[in-house]
Amino acid sequence: MATVPLIALDGIRKSYNIGQPNEAEVLHGLALRVDPGEFVALIGPSGSGKSTLLNILGLLEQPTTGSYRLAGEEVAALDDEALTLRRRRMLGFVFQFHHLLPAFTARENVTLPALMAEGRVSRERLAQAGALLAAVGLEAAMDKRPSQLSGGMQQRVAIARALVMQPALVLADEPTGNLDTASSDEVFRQLRRIHDERGTAFIVVTHDPRLAARCDRIVELVDGRIARDGPIDRNG
């Protein structure tokens, strides 16, 4: 039986300021398929459309035209409530800046998506948050607040938070862009380990060619078009 793509884009275009003198098309007819469990680097120069594409994939923006099917479901057919539900339950997000709540402990920060989706934090979710923090090497820091953690540790809390709802896909936008080399390598190692252990799909936006080379596939955007899409050649 053929695998249903996790992401299937066809003819995706995105324009801003439609009908205005400064109307601009940012994405020009993209086609992209990502299967369950893939680990993909999304690269390209500034202004190439990476953030716009990530916003569309994350159900934060709608394309102007084209088809986006998420796990076989046409996104354009979903109303706002359904989009919010899919975003909360199917997608995890890791950003360059971790956006942790300073008054919350690491474990409480990890449970926030569950609180938003379910209106409460069950004992099961608390236990799950603890297990995720342990999985990213922060078992001893569960009750610490962000100010007590290094930048790399805070970003690992953000990774655990992105995984608490067991999403099929994590979208990571420059997740190591604000870290030094050692912290960046550690955060990326945790992303790869979670992928290998849980089979979660990742799309990672990065400007770091070292990190892109550690992914399984590279998709390169240039001027709103896919200029390259293929597996990493580890023999080259």
DSSP class per residue in 23-38:
-EEEEEEEEEEE-TT-
pTM recorded for the entire structure: 0.87
| Domain contains 172 | yes
- Whole-number Å distance between alpha carbons of 32 and 5: 10
- Whole-number Å distance between alpha carbons of 167 and 86: 10
CATH number of the domain where residue 152 is located: 3.40.50.300
Among the residues of the chain, which ranges form H helices? 50-57, 80-90, 106-110, 112-118, 123-135, 151-163, 181-198, 209-212
Q: Which residues of 4-30 are buried (b: 16+ CB within 10 A; e: fewer)?
A: ebbbbbeebebeeeeeeeeeeebbeeb
| Domain contains 174 | yes
CB-based contacts of 120: which residues, under 8 Å, 6+ apart?
A: none
Q: What is the rounded (10 degree) CA torsion for 51, 169, 130, 99?
A: 10
| Domain contains 180 | yes
**pLDDT for the residue 41:** 93
Domain that holds residue 179: 37-64+80-231
- Whole-number Å distance between alpha carbons of 211 and 203: 12
Domain count, the chain: 1
| Domain contains 26 | no
| Domain contains 50 | yes
What separation in angstroms does the CA of 165 have from each of 115, 125, 161, 202, 228?
A: 10, 9, 8, 15, 32
Do residues 187 and 155 lie in contact, with contact meaning Cβ atoms separated by under 8 Å? Answer: yes
Residue 235 CB neighbours (<10 A)? 4
pLDDT in tens, the chain (236 residues): 668 899 999 999 999 888 888 888 899 999 999 999 999 999 998 888 898 999 999 999 999 999 999 999 999 999 999 998 888 888 988 877 777 899 999 999 998 888 877 777 778 888 888 888 888 888 888 899 999 988 888 888 888 888 888 889 999 888 777 777 887 888 788 888 888 888 899 999 988 888 888 899 999 999 999 999 988 776 65
